[in-house]
Structure formats: structure tokens, C-alpha cells
Chains A and B, each alone.
Chain A
Amino acid sequence: MSFQRQVSQALDTDHRANIDLLGRLELAFARAGRSGMAGDAGLGKLAGALVRQLEQDVGRHFDFEERDLFPRLAAAGEGDIAALLMDEHEAIRSVAAEVLPLARAAAAATLDAAGWEALKRGTLELVERQVSHIQKETMALLPMLEDLLDEDSDRELALAYASG
């Protein structure tokens, strides 16, 4: 999908960055195998990037959508889609809350073997939930924003998101 609105483009860019990192983590886990995770410096580095993403970007992205976009969707008669996406945010937040301390420990090289296994499981679940969520937002939310936002509100919201 290609988007004209700045807000749609910014969210799409964030989605891509998010999936890019999760995809690299998924690949790194697959390459490292069961025994190699703890000693894999590349994985530790990626875990650090995941911490930054979960702490800063995911929260900012979700909060912006819930505060500034979903109410507009609901007002336009698409409250069911907004509610569905909100449910998925909650699910992703819940998985992220489990993954975050493990990723922090991995980045600090203090994670034990069981922790690495848990981090791998959690990351794979996060990947699937994020991919599925992004697919829905790309198919539903972002195209709707093309209709719901005019140029002024698009500019205003894009600015708010960039500075948020």
C-alpha cells in the first residue's frame, strides 16, 4: 500500500523499522541455535536494540494511535476496528512486558540459558503478533486515515507524532 498522508507514512515507516529489527532477531535466534545464544555477541547487540524499541518506540506509537487516531476511527463508525487494534496493543504490551527484562539482561550479558530460551520464545511471539497487527493496520487503519484526515489535521498530527 502507498499512502499520501504524512501520518500514514510515518506509521508505516515505524512498522517497517519494527519488523526489520524483529526479523533480524528472529534470524539471529535461528542461526545461533540452542547452545550458541548466550555467547553470541550479535544477539546481545540486537537485544539492546530491542530494549530501546520496546521502551521508546512501541509505547510512543501505540499511545499516539490510541489517543489521536482510534477516537477518530470510532467517530467515523469504525469503532469495532479501533477496538480490535486496541485489544492487539494490549496483547503486544503484555508480551513486551515479559520480553523486556529478558532483553535487558541479554544486552547486559547476564542472561542464563533458560532466560535465553524464554527470550527466544517471547521474541518469536512478539514477531508474530506484531506482523499480524501491522498487516491489519496496513490494510485497515492507514487507508482509513487517508479519508479521515484533511491536510491540516494530517500536518498537525504528524508534527505531534514526530515530537512525541
Chain B
Amino acid sequence: MKLATGAFLAGAGSRLLPPSIPFRFFGAAAVFHLCAWIALLIDADGAARFAGGLGWPLAALHFGTLGVLAMTAIGASLQLLPVATRRPVGSGRWPAVIWWLYAPGVALTALGMGTGATTMLAAGAIAVVAALVAYAALLARNLIGAKGMPVVVAHGWAALASLIVVIATALALAGTYVGMATIDRATAIALHVVFAAYGFMGMLALGLSYIVVPMFALSAAPAERPARTSFALAVLALTLAGIAALGVVPELLRTAAIAAGLAAVAVHLRLMAIALKTGMRRHLGRSFTLVRMAWAALVASLVVALAVVHDAPLGGLATQFALVVIGGWLLTFALAILQRIVPFLASMHATQVQTGGRSLPPTPSALTAERPLAIHFACHLAALGLLAVAVAADSAAAVRVAAAMGTAGALAFGAFFAVAMRRMRRPPTPASPGTMPAA
């Protein structure tokens, strides 16, 4: 056995990160994914009409947003943004420091929310904020002087600006739980939700899609001009939503923001459809089925947002909005991309195996456990569908079943990740041709 050369030589000054950096973030995301569903299972009664406040539904929400979405976004951006900026991350130590602050911080924050232990919540929030500030500095340093892919870089800047809003409003909201009110709670929540979901996570998801979708489809880069148009519309949408959150003609500006958001998404999805249609790898398998579903949920989230803004006479609409935007779009998208990117990265760092006179690194498909992914696919979609029904029907029993399905899916996803890590260190065979997934 010998190690792939890249595994030895990865250094801080290079664009090839050591595997421990992205995988610690992705592994933590897989664990917090499980925690999110379990937290929902603990208090299913309070979830169907959840509208804020301490408790396990809030913990589930933050295990999902901070623990899975932001964790994945940090890991993926550290790995992918240097491709766009043509600049290395610069330091192998800082991402590790960020992880050591962030992962325990998320656990403390969410557990503090779930148990109502405000001191624990405050301690966790401080660690999370410190980690996110350090990440923001790392991101800014990478974006300053970026040389390539201006559209992706622009999305990175918008995500960074949104992250600053998210951190400021998170501090304000956490402050209210320990008796330190700074800005009006409703304003803080409105800014926090929009800039966390569509700003930080959304702009990273849209921007990094211009890298990963053409990469996996082997297509040409999406056209620059429409991509810039999509970006400008998305920034306009965020700006309008931000002004509306401050109380300036909120209904009108929110409607305009949603219209701009829909236009931005329409242009972006048109570019993605072209990339998938013209790419040399058309059959991208189960993961891209999830990506397509996530895109549909992104559109649906804006439609549901419109219904929320105009007070449509439907029960649990705000909860339904949170479900569609966080579960349907962002969580589905993050898990879909993770199941492509984990084996791909693992194959770059895998141990070679000597068999039958050949010494070859394993292929990504040889590192992929297909059955857990199939189970996750079914459970994830069933859980989200059932949750939507549960919210509409205000049914705690349906939430419970959905959370159990989600837990099973999260366990399966965790198994996929663990198998990939184990096979990266000890591949079962040199390669498993003939069993490869669509790639």
C-alpha cells in the first residue's frame, strides 16, 4: 500500500487542501443533520405551529441551519472558492481553529435553545460568532485580489456582507434571551431570516453552483452576462427585503423583493438547465435529482413567501415557509452536493491498493456506498413531504413520523460518510468498475 502523493504534499500555501480540513466540516454536518431530526422528534408537539421561542423546535432549526447548512458552506467554500479566486486559502491552521470554535459552539447553542439553558446558549453563541467572524476574515482575504470567475467572486462578496448582517442580528437575538436588548426583535428576526437563508447561504449556493454544476456535468461555463444579471437581481431582492425589514413600506418592498428574487432565480436556473443539457455527462444520478428538487423548492419558497407577506388565509404558513426554504431548498441542495463532493475529494486523498500487479487509487464510485444513499434519498423526501402535511394539518403525530423518517435518513447519510472515510483509508478493492454511478 502507498498513499497518493497529494495526501503527503498538501500544504497551506497550496490550493489543494489537506483532507482533514473539508472533511471535518462535512463530517460535523452529517452529525448535526442527525441531531436536527432528533431534536424535532423530542418536541414534535411544538413543531407544527412553531413561530419562534426557546425549545427543541428552535434547536432543530439551528442544528439544521448552523450545524448542517453553514457547516457545509464553510467547508465547501474553503475547498471551492480558491478555484474561483485562483488564490489559496493561505493558512491550514485557521480553518481548523474555526472548526474547533464553531462545532462545539453550534452544539452548545442548539442544546441551550432546546433545554432553555440561556447561559449555555450565550456561551455557544459567543463561540459561533467568534468562529463566523474568523471565517468572514478568511473569506474576505481570499476574495480580495481574486483573479478569476468574477461572478462567483461577486456572489462570495454578497454572501460575506450577508454574513455580517446575520452575525449582528444573531447577537441581538441571543442578547434578548439574556436580557440585553439592542434592536427591535421583529426587525432582527426579519433581517436574520432573509440574510441567513437567501443572503449568506443562498448567495453561496448560487455562486458555487457556477463551479460545481458545470464541473460535474462537464459543460462550458455559464454565460457571464446573464449570470451577472441574476446576481444583480438577487442583490436587489436582498436590499429591498432588508429595507422592508426596517419597517419602510414593508408589504410593497417585500413583494418587490420577491419579484426580483424570482427573476434572479429564473435566470440562474435557466443557466443551470443549459449547463446540464449541454454538459458531456447528462446522467448525473440520484444526487442531481435532489439538486433539481432543491431548485424547485427554491422557487416554491418565494411563492410561499409571497403568501406570507400578503397574509394568505392558510394555517402555519410561516412554518411552511421555513420548511420549504431550509429543508426543501438549502438542506436538500447541501446534502445532494455533499454526496457528490465527498467521494470525489476522498478519491484524491485515498490510499492506493496493490492488487493483481496494479497499484491504483480508488475511483469515486468505489468510495461511494450506494445503498445508504438510496435509503437517505427515500427517507429525506418522505420526511420533508410528511412535515409539509403535518404543518398544514397541525398534526404532532405526523411531525413525529416525519422526524423518525428524517432520523433514519440522517443515519443512512452518516453511514455513507463513514464508509467514504473508511474506504479512503483502506479501499476494499483497487477499483470497482461496472458499479459506478452516473457521473
Pair B221/A131 contact, Cβ less than 8 Å: no
A143 interface hit (Cβ, 8 Å): yes
Tell me whether A80 and B9 are in contact in the complex, defined as CB-CB below 8 angstroms, given that A94-B358, A132-B439 are known contacts.
yes
Q: Which of A107-115, A118-126, A153-161 contacts B (4 or more CB under 8 A)?
A: A118-126
Pair B5/A84 contact, Cβ less than 8 Å: yes
Choice from A16, A132, A140 contacting B363 with Cβ under 8 Å: A132
A20 interface hit (Cβ, 8 Å): yes
Tell me whether A16 and B280 are in contact in the complex, defined as CB-CB below 8 angstroms, given that A87-B4, A134-B218 are known contacts.
yes
Give A91 to B347 CA distance when docked, in angstroms.
12
A20 — nearest CB in chain B belongs to which residue?
B280
Residues in B105-148 with C-beta less than 8 Å from chain A: 147-148
A2 — nearest CB in chain B belongs to which residue?
B221
Pair A128/B16 contact, Cβ less than 8 Å: no
Give A135 to B5 CA distance when docked, in angstroms.
18
Interface string of B82-102 (1 = CB under 8 A from A): 010010000000000000000
* Main SS at interface, chain A: helix
The count of residues in chain B whose C-beta lies closer than 8 Å to any C-beta of chain A is 38
Q: Interface residue tally of chain A, by bracket?
A: 35 or more
User: B135: shortest Cβ distance to chain A, in Å?
Assistant: 22
> What chain B residues lie within 8 Å of A86 (beta carbons)?
5
Pair B216/A124 contact, Cβ less than 8 Å: no
Pair A84/B347 contact, Cβ less than 8 Å: no
Choice from A80, A81, A87, A135 contacting B361 with Cβ under 8 Å: A87
Q: Which of B66-74, B387-395, B429-437 contacts A (4 or more CB under 8 A)?
A: B429-437
A147 interface hit (Cβ, 8 Å): yes
Give A94 to B280 CA distance when docked, in angstroms.
24
Choice from B14, B15, B361, B433 contacting A88 with Cβ under 8 Å: B361
B215 interface hit (Cβ, 8 Å): yes
> What chain B residues lie within 8 Å of A79 (beta carbons)?
9, 14
B365 interface hit (Cβ, 8 Å): yes
Pair A77/B14 contact, Cβ less than 8 Å: yes
Interface string of A1-37 (1 = CB under 8 A from B): 1100000000000001001100100000000000000
Provide a sorted-by-A list of 11 A–B residue pairs whose CB atoms are within 8 angstroms: A1-B221, A2-B220, A19-B280, A87-B4, A91-B361, A122-B433, A124-B436, A138-B215, A139-B215, A143-B83, A146-B147
Ranked nearest first, the 3 interchain pairs of A and B with the lowest CB-CB distance are A125-B433, A84-B6, A80-B9
Binding site for B on A (CB under 8 A): 1-2, 16, 19-20, 23, 77-81, 83-84, 86-88, 91, 94-95, 120-122, 124-125, 127-129, 131-132, 134-136, 138-140, 143-144, 146-147
Known A1-B221, A80-B11, A124-B434; further 14 A-B contacts with Cβ < 8 A = A80-B14, A80-B16, A81-B15, A84-B6, A128-B364, A128-B439, A131-B218, A132-B363, A135-B218, A138-B215, A139-B211, A140-B15, A143-B83, A143-B86
